[in-house]
Structure 1
Amino acid sequence: MVRLYNCHPYGSQRIVPTKQVPEVFCCGGDSVFVTCAGGCKVEVFTVCKDLCQPLCSFNTLGKVLDMKYCDIGDYLVTIESKNNISALRTYVNWRCQATVSSRISVRMLGIRLESCHSGSAKDQMEIIEMPLSDPPLSLACCPMRGDLLVGCKSKLIIFSLKYMSVRDVPVLDFERSLILHVMGIIPTHITFCAGYIGISADLEVLLIKLMPTPSESPETTSPNQKELETVPDKEPKNPLPLQSHLRELDDFVMCQRPVELVGEECKSCSVLVTPESTGLSTDLTRPSQVYHVLYRRFAPDFSEGLSVENTRLHSLQLLPIYKTGFVIDSEETTPQKELLSLFCFFSLPHTGYLYTVANEVKQISVYRYPERSQQAVLTPQFLHVITSNNLQCFTVRCSAAAARDEDPYIDTTMKTCPPVTLDVCTLRMQLFIGLKAIDHFKNYIIILTKADIEDVTVKGKSPKTMHSWKSGSVKNKTLPETGPGWNLYVVSTMSTIQIYNELVEYSRRYDTMKTHGSIHLLSEAHLLVRASLMAPNVDEITEKAELIAAFKDSCASLGQCFSRLDTKHSHLTLPYFKMSGLSVSKVIQRVLSNEFSLDYGKGFMFYLKHTLFEELDEELSEDMALKALQIFSNREPSHLPYVLCSSCMANVCPKKAMDCLRKLESSSPSALISLTKASMALRMQDAKTCEIEIQRHPEMLLLCGFVDEPRLLMRHRSKEMIPTQMAYHFKDIQPGLLVASAVALHENSKIHLKNAEIFFKVLCEKMDDDENIPQMLVDFWEALLSTYPTESILQDILFKLSSHYVCRIRDLQQHTCVKPLKSPEDLRNSCSHFGIISPWISRLVSSETASCLDCGDLMKLQSLLCGPSMDIPSFLPLLKFIPEENNSNLSIHIICETRMMEYENAIERLLDRCPEAVIQYARHEIKNGSQALWWNKLLPELCHRIRQSESENKTLIASLRDTLEVISVELELQDFLNVLPDDGTAVFFLPYLLNQRKLDI
C-alpha cells in the first residue's frame, strides 16, 4: 500500500543554459555534463547554491551515445559513434578545459605512460581510447573504487582504476582486469558497486557478486564455470530479447512464467556468467568466482497494449550506504569508504522493486505508480520517478535496513527504529510537461523535458488501444533542434530539516487520540533524519548538530504517540523516549500536557514502569514524584512498592506514600508492602512503626520480600553501591536479618558476590580498608557457605575466609573483638564445609588459653581445614604468616601436613611440642594403608627419645605403651619381635610378648 501526502520535497529549479536540444546528459560531483543532438561536444555546467553556470566545454571524437561520470577519479567515460562504429573513451583532467589555451592529448589504453606524458601533463586534458572487440552498449562506474564496467552483447568488461606517478605528476590510468562472458541474456542496462554487478534486459534482472578465488584452492571453479563446461558451443536456449518471451500460437500470446530466485536457487536460471582474468596486477592474477545473488523474471504487462516500450524494465541501480567511519587501505593513503549496506532497485513501467542484497537478499519495498513510469533514480532518502508529465517522490526504507545491518540488536528496550516493512508513501507529484529523463547528484535532481505537438496530440488518444505486438517496436523520433519546447532543469531538493519540519507539521493533522497516521508520518521523518546522519558527507558541525536535535525530537514525538496506544506496539514508547534523551520529568510533563492525558495509554505505563524500575541518577522533584505516585495508585496500584523503591522517587512525600500503601494493603496484604511501609516510616524517623511493620511477618516472608525488591536494601548509582536507610537500620538492630537477606539475594541471582561485598564494606564504612574486613562481611561469607554455592564461588569464599582467619590469628593481640553471628559450633552444625575438629587438636591447644574466645577464628580455621572442601595446596602460601610460637598456631601447620599426608613430619612436631597428643593423633590419622608408621616411625622414635631423656619421661613411656598395644595386636609374633630394639631391654617388652603369645594360642 502506498500512502499519499502532499509535502514539498522539491525547492527551487534552474534551467541548464544549454543552447541546443540536450540529447544525453549525466551529472556528479558538482557538475552537469550535456551533449546536444547531432553534436560532438560536451558542455559542462557547475551547480552551486542553486546556481547553474557554464564551467567548460570540450569536443569529443564522435557522437556521444551514452556517458557516465565517476566521482572517484573525476573522469567522464563515453560511448561514441563515428562512421557507424562505436568506441569507448575516457576523458581525464577535463576541468583544465576551462582555460582557453589548454592542451589535449589522446592515447591508447595500455601504452606506456612515460612515452606519452610531458612535463606539462597536469595542464592538459587526456582522452584514453579503450579498444574493445565488441561494440559497447552500456556503462557503469563503481562509486566506491572508481572502476569501470562496460557492457557488450555477450560480455562484461571491468577496467580497474589506477593511480600512477609519471615524472612526479599524478596520472590516472585504467587496466583491463576481468572479462565476464555472459550467456542467456543481452545486457541492456548494467550497474556496478563494491564487486556487485547488476544486469537487466527487457524482462529479466540478474545480480551477481565477484569474489576472489581462494588461494588455498587455486583450481577451484565457480558453479557457473562447471555448468558452462557442459553446455555445447551454441546459442543459449533462452535468448533474452523481448520476442523470446512471447510466442504466437493461433492468435494467442504465450509468455514465460514469472520467477524469483535467491542465492543458490539462482543456479537454475538460464543465465551463465564465466570469468576470464586479463589483468597483470598481483591481486587480479587469479580469476574471480561468480556468485549469483538474485535473479528475477517478469511477465510482460499488456494493460496499455502490446508495445515493447510499455513492458520493459528500466532504472536498474545499486545504492551503497556506508559506515560512519573510514578505513585506510593498506596500499593507499587515501581513506576508503566502508560498505555497510547495499540496495538494488529496478522497475517495470507500473511497479518498482527495492531489495537489500549485501548481508541478506530480501525484498523490502514495492512501489505502485499511478501511471506509467519512464525512469527512476534511488537515493538514500527518496525514490524519484518520472512519468510523461509528473515528477513523483516516494519514501524509501534504506536507512531502516542499514540501521539493522549496523546494529542487529537495535530493536531492544534501549533503542529501536521504524520497521523496514513500513508502508511507503508519495510525498509529492510535481507537474512537468514532456518528461524524458532524470538523474541525481547531491541534493539536486536533473530532469530533461521535451514537449512537442505530437506529444500533445498523442496524449489525447486512449492509452488502452491495442496494437499488434509485431509492430510494437516504437521508433525513436528525431526531434528538431527548434522544437516547441525543451528544457534541462536542475531541481534542488529541500534540506532534511525543512522536510522534517513539514512532515512533523503534517502529522499534527492526524494527531487524534489513538491514530496511526501521525505515527507513520513521524516514522517517515525519523527515517529521513537517520538517513542524513548516515551519509558520509555530513561534516559540518552545525548541520550535524541540527540533524541530531531533529533525531531526538522525532524520537520524543514517536514516544509520545506510542504512549497513547494500547496495541502490541505500545512497548516502543520506552526505546523512543530513551533515544530522545529526555529526562523522566520532561517525559511526564510532555505526556500530561497533552489534551488526551486523562487516559494514560499502555505505552506510557510501560515506559514509566521500566524507567522507575531502573537505577537512574535522576531524582524526580516532589511534585513530579507525587504525580507518578498518583498515576500508579489509580492505574496499577500493585506496582506501588516497586515504584516507591526507585531512586527516582527519593523526594516523594512519605506520608502520602504511606496512605497509598495502606489502601493497597487493605485489599492485598503482603510482606513486600509491609517492608515498603517500614521504609517510608524510617524516612519519617518513625522507628516504632518500622518495627511494628517488620514484626508482622516471619523472617522467611521478609526474605522473600527483599528478594522481590532488592532496592529496599541497596541501590546502584553511577556504578556505586549505596545502602538504603533500611539497611543501616538493620545493621544496628537486626544484623542477622540483613545478612540472611544478602544471602537470599545472592542465592536468587539478584546480586553478584562482588557487589554484595562492596555493599557490606560501604555499609560498615570500610570501603578503602582491605586489611580490616568488616565482621558483617565475614558473617555473610560464612552464611553463604550454607547455601552450597557453585565450585568456583565456593573456593573463592573459602580462600577469603581462610585469609581473614589467618590475619585475625596473626594479629590476635591487636584486633578489635566483634562477636560473630555464628560460633564455630553453629557453623559445623549448619554447613558440611566446616569439619569436626579432631581430638588431638583439642589436646594440643588445651594447655593454652586463647586471648579472644568470642571471635573463635582459630577454631573456625581449624574446622575449615578439617572439612572436605578446603583446597589445602591453595592455603599453603598463607602458612608463612602464621608463626609457630604456640601450640594453637602449630595446630594449623600440623593439620595442613596431615591433609598433605606428611605424617612423619607431623609426628616429629608433636613429639617435640606436645608428646601427649601423639597417640591421639596416631589413632585418629594413621589408619588403613598408613599403619606401618606405628612400628616403622613412631616406635623407634619413642624408644630413641626415652633413651635420650635424662630423667624418666612418663609421657613418652605412656605413649610407648599405647604404641606397643597397637603393634602387638596388628603384627604377627615374628614381625613383632623383628621391630623390637635389640639393646638388651627385652624385659620391658616381655608382658607384650606374653600377651602376643596368648593371642596366638
Structure 2
Amino acid sequence: MVRLYNLHPFGSQQVVPCQWEPEQVCCGGSDALFVAAGCKVEAFAVQGEELCRQRCAFSTLGRVLRMAYSEAEVLLLKLESDPIHGESVDHHPQETSNPLKEAEGVSNETSQLESEDFVICLKPMELIGEKCEQSGISVKLESTGLEDEKVKYLRVRHLLYRRFAPDISSYVLSDNIKLHSLQLLPIHQSGFHPDENDLSPKKEMPNLFCFFSLPHVGYLYMVVKSVELMSVYWYPEKSQQAVLTPQFLHVITSSRKDASVRSGTPHVAEAAWNLYLVNTTAPVQLYKEMVDYSNSYKTVKTESCLHLLSEAHLLVRAALMDGSQLEPAEKAELLEAFKESCGHLGDCYSRLTTEQSHLALPYYKMSGLSLAEVLARVDWTEESESQKYERGLVFYINHSLYENLDEELSKELAAKVAQIFHMAEPKQLPHVLSSPSMKNIDPLTALHYLRKLDSCGVSPVLVTLTKAAVALKMGDLDMYRNEMKSHSEMKLVYGFILEPRLLIQQWKGQIVPTELAIDLKETQPGLLVASVLGLQKNDKIGIVETDSFFKVLCGKDEDAVPQLLIDFWEAQLVACLPNVVLEELFFKLISQYVWRLSERRCPDTVPLRTAEDLINACSHYGLVNPWVHVLTTSDSLADKNYTDDLLKLQSLICSPSLDVASIIPFLEPLSEDTVAGLSTHALCHTRLQEYEQCIDTLLERCPEAVIAYANQELKEDHWILWWKKLLPELCQRVKSGGERSHLHLSLLKETLSVIAVGLDLRDFLNVLPEDGAAAFFLPYLLFCSRKKSLT
C-alpha cells in the first residue's frame, strides 16, 4: 500500500487493479480512467457504485505512445479555406505542431549529423506563426471524410514550433530533453445565447492553453488569438509525467526504491499490477481546514499565517474560475468563502509589517466588509496612548476615508480612528477629520489632537481651517473668527485646495456643502468663490459639481441660478481656466443676464463684481462703444442692478472671443421695444456687419444715437454708407415732417458736414438728392468749393 503524507489538497486514495503493467494513464472526464499497456487499453470507473471496477478493455493496432481524452448701427494546426475560391472560415479547435513528431525529427536530424569525431548539438528553438515553416517538418493535408472538391481549397497555417535541445554547457543526458507530456487545456466560459427566446446554456472558449513538459521544465502557451508563452515551470526533481488543471499543476517525479515497503493489498488473480488513484478534497472543506490551521500562527504575527491564508484564497479563487461545473449552492458557498478569505488576508496585511502592507486595502474591499466592521476586528489594547498601529491598517483606513463610503462611524470608532492617526500618521489627521465618515467625532476630541500638530510639519493653514470647522461645529464663533483671521485670503484658498472636503462633501452621490461653506456664503462670499475656483483650477472638483454645489448651497432648485453661481462663472472668465469651454460659459452668463433683464429680476445677493470691474480685469469682457451709452441713458426708469446686468451683457457681445451668431437665439426673450433689447440686437447686427439694418432700427427707435453710431461704425470700407444709406434716409424723413422733423433736420446737417469734409465738390454734388432745395445745400457746396480752392 502506498501511503500519502503532507499532500494537503488530497483526501484519500483508491487502488485500481490492472492486468498489465501501466505505461500511459489518462483521465476521461471526472468518472473514468484509461490505462494503456503496450497495445491494450483498459477503462475503469473512478466514481459511483462501480468504484475502481473495470468497465471495458480494448486493443489497439500498435503500441500506445501517447494518450489523451477530450470531448472534441483537436489538432494543433489551424485549417483555413482559400479566400480566393471560398469563404474564409476558421476551423476550431486549433493546433500547433506535434511535439512527438518534433522530438523524432530532432533525434533523426541529430543522428545524421553525428560522426566519429564530432557530435553536433542543435540549439533550442521557438518559432511562431509563419516562421514555423522554417522548422523543416512538412505537413500534408489529406482527405478524412471531406469532399475532394473542398479539400483542395483548404490550407494549413502553422501557429507554433518548439524544438527542445540540451544546453551544451550543462552536459546533461539526452533523456532530459525528451518530451513526455502534451496537453490542451481549454478554459470555458458559461453563458446563454444572445437570442432572448433561446435560454439554453452555451459554452465559449476564450482561452486555449497548450502545455509541454520535459523531465525538468514545463512550458505553457496560449494559442487562441495569438501564440504566446505564458509561463515556464521548473521542477525540483526529474518528472515522469505532468498534468495541468485550472487549479493545480500535478507532477509525478521519480519523490525512491525502498525494500521495506510492502504491498498490503490482497492478491487478485486477474490483476498483476495496482494503480493508485488519489481523490481530492472539496475546495471549501480544504479551505476551512487551512484557515483553522492558520489560526495557530495568528497571535504571533508571523508570515506563516499569511502564507497559509494566501494558498487557501488561491484555492477558492481557482475553484470559482472553473465555475461552469458548479451548482448554484456550491458557487454561493465558494463566494462566501472567497469574501471570508479576503477578510482574513486583509487582517494579515493590516497587522504585519511587510513590504506588501498596502494590500490590506484591496483585500478588505473584496471582502465586502464595511469600515466599521474592519475596525471592529482590530485588537485594541487598554493603554491606548502607547498602542502601535501597523502601516497596513493605517493605509487602509486613510484610503477608505478618502473615498465616498456613505458610512458614518460611531462616536467611539471615530475617536479610535483619530487616535490611530494621532499615533501613526499625524500629518493625515486634518484630512481624516474632514471626511464625512468622521462627522460624529466629539469636537473636543478633535481639537485635542489638532492642537498637538504644531510641531508635526503639517501645513499651518490646513490645521487652522480644520480648527475653524470644528469650532463652528461647536458653536464657538469667537474661536472660529480668530482662526479665520490668522491667515490671509490667499493662504486660506491654498488650505482649501489641500483639503476640499472642508467646503464640499459627497454623501450618497449628492453634493453636500459643509457648515463652513454655509457660513462663508454669508460672511465671505468672495473667499468662497475664490476657493472653489482654486479647487477647479487644481482638478479637485469638476464643472458640473461646482454648479450643483452653489445651487445646493444657496437653496435653489435645478432651474434657478443664484447670483453666487453667476459670480463664480464670471470669476471663471476672469481666471481663464484651461479646462473651461469658453463658449459654454458665454452661453451660461448671457442666458442669465437676458433672463433677469427680460423679467426685470434683481440678483438675490449683491454681485461681487460690477461691469466696470469685469471690463477692467478680463479681456473676454469687451469695451462697449459710446453710441450704446446713448441708448441706455434714454431709459430713466432702470435701476442700478438692471443697468449693470445690461452693461455686462453688452460687454460680452463686444468680446473678441465671442461668436456673435451663436448667441442670437439666447437674445429672443429681449424685445426691441425695450432699451436692453434694442441695444443688444443693434450690437449683434453691428458685429455681423449688418449696418443698414442697424441704421433703420436706430432712425426708427432712437435717432439721437444715429450720428454717434455712424461716427463709430461707418469707417473705412463702410464709410460709403454715410451718403448711400444715411443721407437719403434723413432727407426722406425731413421731407415727411412729423414730430421729429427738427431732430431729423439736425441729424441731416451733421451728416452733410461729415460728407462735405470727406468728399470733393463733384462727388458731393453727385450724392445730393435731385429734388433737394439748392438754398439748403448752398453752405455745404460753398464749403466743398472753398476746400477745393485751398488744396
Please indicate the TM-score interval, normalised by the length of the shorter structure.
0.7 to 0.9
Name the aligned partner's letter for residue 13 of structure 2. Q
CA distance in 1, matches of 2:96, 2:761: 100
1:287 and 2:154 matched: yes
Map Cα deviations across residues 3-44 of structure 1 (whole Å, 9 max, x no partner).
Answer: x99342222334457788778764434542657879989656
Aligned to 1:571: 358
CA distance in 1, matches of 2:5, 2:525: 67
For residues 952 and 271 of structure 1, do their structure 2 counterparts lie closer, same or farther at Cα, with a shift above 3 Å needed? closer
CA shift, 1:627, in A, is 1.4
1:957-972 → structure 2 map (5 Å cutoff)? 957-972=745-760
The percentage of aligned residue pairs carrying the same residue is 44
CA shift, 1:963, in A, is 0.9
CA distance in 2, matches of 1:241, 1:848: 107
CA shift, 1:994, in A, is 1.6
Decide whether the 8 Å contact of 1:965 with 1:992 is kept in 2.
Answer: yes
CA shift, 1:779, in A, is 1.0
Map Cα deviations across residues 948-976 of structure 1 (whole Å, 9 max, x no partner).
Answer: 01467221122111111211122222111
CA distance in 1, matches of 2:775, 2:171: 133
Decide whether the 8 Å contact of 1:343 with 1:357 is kept in 2.
Answer: yes
Name the aligned partner's letter for residue 731 of structure 1. K
1:846 and 2:633 matched: yes
1:368 and 2:235 matched: yes
Out of 650, 657, 668, the residue aligned to residue 862 of structure 1 is 650
Name the aligned partner's letter for residue 366 of structure 1. Y
Decide whether the 8 Å contact of 1:21 with 1:481 is kept in 2.
Answer: no
Decide whether the 8 Å contact of 1:556 with 1:580 is kept in 2.
Answer: yes
1:672 and 2:462 matched: yes
For residues 866 and 349 of structure 1, do their structure 2 counterparts lie closer, same or farther at Cα, with a shift above 3 Å needed? closer
CA distance in 2, matches of 1:244, 1:334: 56
CA shift, 1:577, in A, is 1.7
CA shift, 1:282, in A, is 11
1:196 and 2:195 matched: no
Name the aligned partner's letter for residue 316 of structure 1. L
Decide whether the 8 Å contact of 1:817 with 1:852 is kept in 2.
Answer: no
Out of 893, 903, 915, the residue aligned to residue 691 of structure 2 is 903
Aligned to 2:249: 383
For residues 524 and 275 of structure 1, do their structure 2 counterparts lie closer, same or farther at Cα, with a shift above 3 Å needed? farther
Greater fraction helix:
2
CA shift, 1:158, in A, is 8.8
Name the aligned partner's letter for residue 12 of structure 1. S
Secondary structure of the equivalent of 1:663?
Answer: coil
Normalised by the length of structure 1, the TM-score is 0.69
CA distance in 2, matches of 1:862, 1:706: 35
Name the aligned partner's letter for residue 154 of structure 2. P
For residues 36 and 548 of structure 1, do their structure 2 counterparts lie closer, same or farther at Cα, with a shift above 3 Å needed? closer
Out of 688, 700, 704, the residue aligned to residue 478 of structure 2 is 688
CA distance in 2, matches of 1:333, 1:272: 45
CA shift, 1:334, in A, is 6.6
Aligned to 1:11: 11
Secondary structure of the equivalent of 1:240?
Answer: helix
CA distance in 2, matches of 1:681, 1:500: 52
CA shift, 1:721, in A, is 0.8
CA shift, 1:311, in A, is 5.8
Aligned to 1:322: 188
CA distance in 1, matches of 2:325, 2:68: 26
Decide whether the 8 Å contact of 1:22 with 1:34 is kept in 2.
Answer: no
Aligned to 1:47: 47
Out of 644, 648, 651, the residue aligned to residue 433 of structure 2 is 644
Secondary structure of the equivalent of 2:406?
Answer: coil
CA shift, 1:563, in A, is 2.7
For residues 934 and 159 of structure 1, do their structure 2 counterparts lie closer, same or farther at Cα, with a shift above 3 Å needed? closer
Name the aligned partner's letter for residue 504 of structure 2. M
Name the aligned partner's letter for residue 229 of structure 2. K
1:457-472 → structure 2 map (5 Å cutoff)? none
Report the number of matched residues.
768
Aligned to 1:633: 422
Q: CA RMSD in A?
A: 4.1
Name the aligned partner's letter for residue 544 of structure 2. K
CA distance in 1, matches of 2:737, 2:255: 125
1:412-561 → structure 2 map (5 Å cutoff)? 485-508=272-295, 515-561=302-348
Aligned to 1:737: 527
For residues 333 and 664 of structure 1, do their structure 2 counterparts lie closer, same or farther at Cα, with a shift above 3 Å needed? closer
Aligned to 2:513: 723
Decide whether the 8 Å contact of 1:257 with 1:298 is kept in 2.
Answer: yes
For residues 644 and 40 of structure 1, do their structure 2 counterparts lie closer, same or farther at Cα, with a shift above 3 Å needed? closer
For residues 247 and 23 of structure 1, do their structure 2 counterparts lie closer, same or farther at Cα, with a shift above 3 Å needed? closer
For residues 356 and 565 of structure 1, do their structure 2 counterparts lie closer, same or farther at Cα, with a shift above 3 Å needed? farther
CA shift, 1:433, in A, is 8.1
1:388-427 → structure 2 map (5 Å cutoff)? none
CA distance in 2, matches of 1:638, 1:300: 57
CA shift, 1:682, in A, is 1.2
CA distance in 1, matches of 2:52, 2:194: 36
CA distance in 1, matches of 2:494, 2:389: 32
CA distance in 2, matches of 1:492, 1:334: 32
1:880 and 2:779 matched: no
CA shift, 1:53, in A, is 7.1
Name the aligned partner's letter for residue 201 of structure 1. L
1:256 and 2:122 matched: yes
CA distance in 2, matches of 1:38, 1:750: 74
Decide whether the 8 Å contact of 2:388 with 2:424 is kept in 1.
Answer: no
Name the aligned partner's letter for residue 849 of structure 1. S
For residues 817 and 305 of structure 1, do their structure 2 counterparts lie closer, same or farther at Cα, with a shift above 3 Å needed? closer
Aligned to 1:347: 213
**Structure 1 residue ranges without an equivalent (≥5):** 65-79, 87-135, 151-155, 161-177, 179-191, 206-237, 392-430, 435-448, 453-479
Secondary structure of the equivalent of 1:665?
Answer: coil
Out of 410, 413, 420, the residue aligned to residue 624 of structure 1 is 413
1:62-141 → structure 2 map (5 Å cutoff)? 63-64=59-60, 80=61
Name the aligned partner's letter for residue 446 of structure 2. A
Aligned to 1:822: 609
Map Cα deviations across residues 177-222 of structure 1 (whole Å, 9 max, x no partner).
Answer: x9xxxxxxxxxxxxx98313352238849xxxxxxxxxxxxxxxxx
Aligned to 1:175: none
Name the aligned partner's letter for residue 239 of structure 2. S
CA shift, 1:432, in A, is 9.7
Decide whether the 8 Å contact of 2:345 with 2:363 is kept in 1.
Answer: yes
Aligned to 2:84: none
Decide whether the 8 Å contact of 2:632 with 2:676 is kept in 1.
Answer: yes
CA distance in 2, matches of 1:731, 1:283: 81
CA shift, 1:753, in A, is 0.9
Greater shift, 316-325 or 376-385, is seen at 316-325
Map Cα deviations across residues 83-103 of structure 1 (whole Å, 9 max, x no partner).
Answer: xxx9xxxxxxxxxxxxxxxxx
CA shift, 1:840, in A, is 1.5
CA shift, 1:891, in A, is 1.2
CA distance in 1, matches of 2:480, 2:444: 13
Normalised by the length of structure 2, the TM-score is 0.86
CA distance in 2, matches of 1:545, 1:268: 51
Decide whether the 8 Å contact of 2:126 with 2:160 is kept in 1.
Answer: no
CA shift, 1:498, in A, is 2.1
Secondary structure of the equivalent of 1:664?
Answer: coil
CA shift, 1:658, in A, is 1.1
Map Cα deviations across residues 699-727 of structure 1 (whole Å, 9 max, x no partner).
Answer: 11111111111111111223211111111
Name the aligned partner's letter for residue 930 of structure 1. H
CA distance in 2, matches of 1:159, 1:863: 70
CA distance in 1, matches of 2:525, 2:135: 77
Decide whether the 8 Å contact of 1:14 with 1:51 is kept in 2.
Answer: no
Name the aligned partner's letter for residue 100 of structure 2. A
